[in-house]
Structure 1
Amino acid sequence: MKINFKHTLIICLLIIFGTNKSLAQTDNQNLKRVWMLVEFQKFKKTDFISLKAQMDLTNLETPTANMGCNNIGFKIEVKKNKLKFSKIFRTMIYCKNKMQVEDAFAKELPSYKTYKIEAHKLIIKNSKNQKMVFLAQDWD
């Protein structure tokens, strides 16, 4: 059986592109979790814990967040390690002493454009290299 260079190249390319697609799907699968906010701007981790601050990405078609008071909805596009947050909306209930984190989160979220997942940790960054750090809710 004679295998020429052209056939070998095609087979190699199919394997490479198939692997890249499955890696991207794995990243998206790892992203589809409830993430607890633990680091953002000047706020303390204890603030996030008491507020039960979280971002729910289990369904990327309808992602949500809650920073202790209002429900926050948004659109998200994911491509490789890039994110695009847009169309942010939220309920408008006033919660005394709980609005600072929520206001900052809703205002800043669209500026965060890249992400990486390290084990149980999600790190998203903006162009100024500022970051939000989340821990997976289901992490033991």
Structure 2
Amino acid sequence: MKKILLSFFAILLLGVVGSCSSVPEKNPSLQRQWMLVSFDKFSKEELIKNRAEINLTGALEKGKIKGSANMGCNGMFFTSEFKANGKVKISGVGSTLKACQNMELENAFIQKFDKMTDYSIEGHFLTLSDDNGNSMKFVAADWD
């Protein structure tokens, strides 16, 4: 009888400890590939032609997503932290250093991306914005 009770309490304790885990869960509405459709002075056609995108499907570590981006030439990488209150922190932005013909989009993106402070998800759209009225609008790549 003592062995049965001991086993029962051990299983109960493991269940309680497991449910108190501090590891953040994946957020499927956010953690996906996003195609840039509106940014700065660039037309939607220009963004599509360059396959401008961010990818938020990378590793999730301590609530931060390891992301990547591409604006047509160089591969970019960053760390992002999306809070429940609609705030975002983007840091550690870097890229490969290939010489490309059209660097205007890439340079503009790199200059403004880590300045984004707010985010919203409406349907299949992700919008990032800063305190100066600049914004970037994305559509989920898996949305038809």
- Indicate yes or no: 2:93 matched with 1:88: yes
Q: Secondary structure, in 3 states, of the residue corresponding to 2:143?
A: coil
Between the aligned partners of 1:94 and 1:46, the Cα distance in structure 2 is 23
* CA positional deviation for 1:25: 6.0
Q: Give the structure-1-normalised TM-score.
A: 0.77
- For structure 2, the 5+ residue unaligned runs are 1-23
Counterpart in the other structure of 1:39: 38
Counterpart in the other structure of 1:109: 113
Q: Give the structure-2-normalised TM-score.
A: 0.75
1:17-56 equivalences in 2 (<5 Å) = 28-56=27-55
- For structure 1, the 5+ residue unaligned runs are 1-23
Computing the radius of gyration from Cα coordinates, the structure with the larger value is: 2
Counterpart in the other structure of 1:130: 134
Amino acid aligned to 1:42: K
* CA positional deviation for 1:129: 2.1
Q: Which has the higher helix share?
A: 1
Deviating 4+ runs (over 4 angstroms): none
Counterpart in the other structure of 2:20: none
Q: Secondary structure, in 3 states, of the residue corresponding to 1:117?
A: strand
Q: Identity of paired residues, percent?
A: 40
* CA positional deviation for 1:75: 1.0
The number of residues matched between the two structures is 115
Q: Secondary structure, in 3 states, of the residue corresponding to 1:49?
A: helix
Deviations 1:50-92 (A, max 9, x none): 1000000012532000000000001111111111011111000
Instruction: Compute the RMSD of aligned alpha carbons.
Output: 1.6
* CA positional deviation for 1:120: 0.6
- Indicate yes or no: 2:75 matched with 1:71: yes
